[in-house]
């Protein structure tokens, strides 16, 4: 196949995409198509340089230097009719029409990716009538790589090289979708619900907090309750929603975040839902209810003012709403307030007062406020540690960091730190160890 035919084939292959047609709107692939279009139509040195550079800049903007890497990632993580189908079905259940369409698209994408930057530049020079200076400038343009280099999912990625036949990798691709799901939920483990221009959407977290369960010291019993409930959930059993209640800095949020790093390989995903967006909870649930993964909806620092009624959507989902909570979803919330909603003594006085301004059904108001916390099936408590427990945590963190320091000195400095800072808590202990480690390292360097 001569170079002109190869380029025209690559361009027309992109035009005929079916299952992966959404890729034509992708910023990188769109600019690649425009580059191919220039080669087959309005070829000039100025136009070529511009389109080539725009494409390569877009590729680098996505932190990629290989078009094959980029395409293979798009194949894995773009949500399509095929990826959604495979999430809950076996390869044998794929209907022949869908199979043929996927095979066609994989072959088309391979043809589009087969052009090397050197071939593209030399073809432009030979057909564009460039001057010697223009040709020299074109040849100096940087080139993208032509191999798969990213380590993610190596078994699948090894099947998408220039030497392999992409159309024959359908079963490997289906197995990936079946195990990991599709789209955002295959690409990311943690998510944040955000509103952009008033519209709610899930945003994947590229680098979630790396905290692991083994990093957390103390509170083993309450943490084990959360772990056991999560494992039952991942094993397909009915699990409870969990309220992690307690004092600040005791590791409530860290416990939930550590679950993601521990069990993501079992299909666990976590969506952090900020309290101001609780009204969007039904919308979040509709987006994930038929996915193969298991989701924890994480609401951090949950608490409501006494006049605030935004907890109604949460209350309905926890128990009692017409639209039931999907079986692949549980809600974990942390709070410094046991009953979540602020109460006033004046409300309790209304139980006995004769004042005409007092509420007639004061008892019902109190019960309404208490009922939200009651709808969490499990409540675990994280209280401020006493001095002995605090020092145990400090010792454990120092051992984790490999700090070799006298126990008496460690205790004395830790107690001084907590008196000057935020009081006793695992968070304070970690902050103290961070400070101590930095000081020790600084002194060691000064003594060298």
Asked if 213 and 248 sit in the same domain, the reply is: yes
Kindly state whether residues 219 and 351 are assigned to the same domain.
yes
Other C-beta atoms closer than 10 Å to the C-beta of 295 total 24
**Do 226 and 200 lie in a common domain?**
yes
The pLDDT assigned to 41 comes to 84
214 and 152 co-located in one domain: no
pLDDT at 302 over 50: yes
Q: What percent of the chain has pLDDT over 70?
A: 86
Domain final position from 181, 196, 222: 181
Does the pLDDT at position 14 exceed 70? yes
Q: What is the DSSP letter of 71?
A: H
131-168: per-residue pLDDT in tens?
Answer: 999 999 999 999 998 877 655 555 566 677 777 899 99
Structure tokens at 428: 């304070």
Tell me the pairing of strands 199-204 and 294-299.
Answer: unpaired
Q: Is the pLDDT of residue 415 over 90?
A: yes
pLDDT digits (tens, 9 = 90+) for 107-121: 999 999 889 999 999
| pLDDT, tens digit (0-9, with 9 covering 90-100), for 233-251 | 999 998 999 999 888 889 9
Q: How many CB atoms lie within 10 A of CB 24?
A: 12
Domain boundary among 382, 401, 422: 382
225-236 pLDDT tens trace: 999 999 999 999
Residue 39 in this model has a pLDDT that exceeds 70: yes
Cβ atoms of 122 and 132 within 8 Å: the answer is no
The residue with greater pLDDT, 409 or 172, is 409
Distance separating alpha carbons of residues 329 and 321, to the nearest angstrom? 15
Task: Domain of residue 166: give its range.
Answer: 3-181
pLDDT at residue 85, rounded to an integer = 87
Distance from chain centroid for Cα 100: 32
pLDDT of residue 55: 97
Distance between CA 408 and CA 440 in Å, rounded? 16
For the residues 422-438, what does the mean pLDDT come to? 91
How buried is 8 (Cβ within 10 angstroms: 0-12 exposed, 13-18 middle, 19+ buried)?
A: middle
Q: pLDDT value at position 255? A: 96
Neighbours of 151 (CB within 10 A): 7
Question: What per-residue confidence (pLDDT) applies to 423?
Answer: 83
Select, from the ranges 48-62, 163-177, 302-316, the one with the highest average predicted confidence (pLDDT): 48-62
Res. 49: pLDDT tops 50: yes
Q: Are residues 177 and 285 both part of a single domain?
A: no
Q: What is the pLDDT of residues 330-349, one digit of tens each?
A: 999 998 876 555 555 455 55
pLDDT digits (tens, 9 = 90+) for 192-232: 999 988 899 999 999 999 999 999 998 999 999 999 999 99
177 plus 192 within the same structural domain: no
The whole-number pLDDT of residue 27 equals: 96
Same domain assignment for residues 198 and 286? yes
Q: Which of 330, 354, 382 is the last residue of a domain?
A: 382
Domain with 219 in it: what CATH number? Answer: 3.40.50.300
For residues 376 and 294, membership in a common domain is answered with: yes
Residues 241 and 294 grouped into a single domain: yes
Q: What is the mean pLDDT of residues 284-291?
A: 89
Instruction: Specify whether 125 is located in the same domain as 245.
Output: no
The number of folded domains in the chain is 3
> pLDDT value at position 84?
87
Residues 166 and 238 in one domain: no
> pLDDT value at position 367?
53
CA distance 202 to 271: 8
């Amino acid at each position: 196949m001569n170079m002109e035919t190869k380029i025209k084939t690559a361009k027309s292959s992109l035009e005929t995409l079916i299952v992966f047609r959404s890729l034509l709107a992708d910023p990188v692939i769109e600019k690649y198509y425009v580059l191919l279009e220039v080669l087959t139509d309005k070829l000039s040195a100025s136009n070529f340089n511009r389109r080539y550079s725009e494409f390569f800049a877009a590729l680098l903007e996505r932190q990629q230097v290989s078009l094959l890497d980029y395409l293979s990632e798009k194949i894995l993580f773009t949500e399509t009719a095929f990826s959604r189908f495979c999430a809950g079905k076996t390869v044998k259940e794929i209907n022949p029409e869908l199979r043929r369409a996927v095979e066609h698209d994989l072959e088309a994408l391979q043809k589009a990716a087969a052009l090397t930057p050197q071939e593209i530049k030399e073809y432009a020079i030979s057909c564009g009538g460039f001057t010697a200076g223009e040709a020299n400038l074109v040849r100096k343009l940087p080139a993208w790589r032509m191999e798969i280099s990213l380590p993610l999912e190596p078994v699948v990625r090894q099947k998408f090289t220039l030497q392999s036949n992409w159309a024959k990798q359908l079963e490997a691709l289906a197995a990936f979708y079946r195990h990991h799901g599709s789209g955002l939920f295959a690409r990311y483990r943690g998510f944040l619900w955000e509103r952009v221009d008033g519209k709610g959407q899930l945003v994947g977290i590229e680098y979630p907090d790396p905290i692991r369960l083994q990093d957390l010291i103390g509170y083993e019993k309450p943490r084990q309750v959360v772990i056991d409930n999560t494992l039952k959930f991942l094993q397909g059993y009915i699990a409870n929603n969990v309220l992690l209640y307690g004092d600040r800095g005791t590791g409530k949020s860290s416990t939930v975040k550590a679950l993601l790093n521990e069990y993501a390989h079992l299909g666990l995903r976590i969506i952090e839902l900020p309290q101001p967006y609780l009204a969007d909870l039904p919308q979040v649930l509709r987006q994930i209810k038929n996915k193969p993964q298991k989701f924890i909806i994480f609401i951090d620092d949950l608490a409501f003012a006494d006049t605030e009624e935004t907890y109604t959507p949460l209350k309905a989902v926890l128990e009692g709403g017409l639209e039931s909570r999907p079986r692949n979803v549980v809600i974990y919330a942390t709070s410094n307030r046991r009953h979540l909603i602020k109460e006033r003594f004046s409300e309790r006085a209304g139980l006995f007062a004769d004042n005409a301004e007092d509420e007639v059904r004061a008892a019902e108001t109190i019960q309404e406020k208490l009922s939200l916390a009651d709808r969490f099936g499990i409540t675990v408590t994280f209280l401020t540690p006493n001095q002995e427990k605090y020092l145990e945590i400090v010792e454990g963190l120092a051992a984790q960091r490999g700090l070799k320091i006298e126990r008496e000195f460690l205790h004395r400095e830790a107690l001084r730190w907590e008196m000057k800072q935020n009081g006793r808590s695992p968070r304070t202990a970690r902050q103290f160890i961070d400070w101590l480690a930095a000081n020790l390292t600084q002194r060691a360097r000064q003594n060298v």
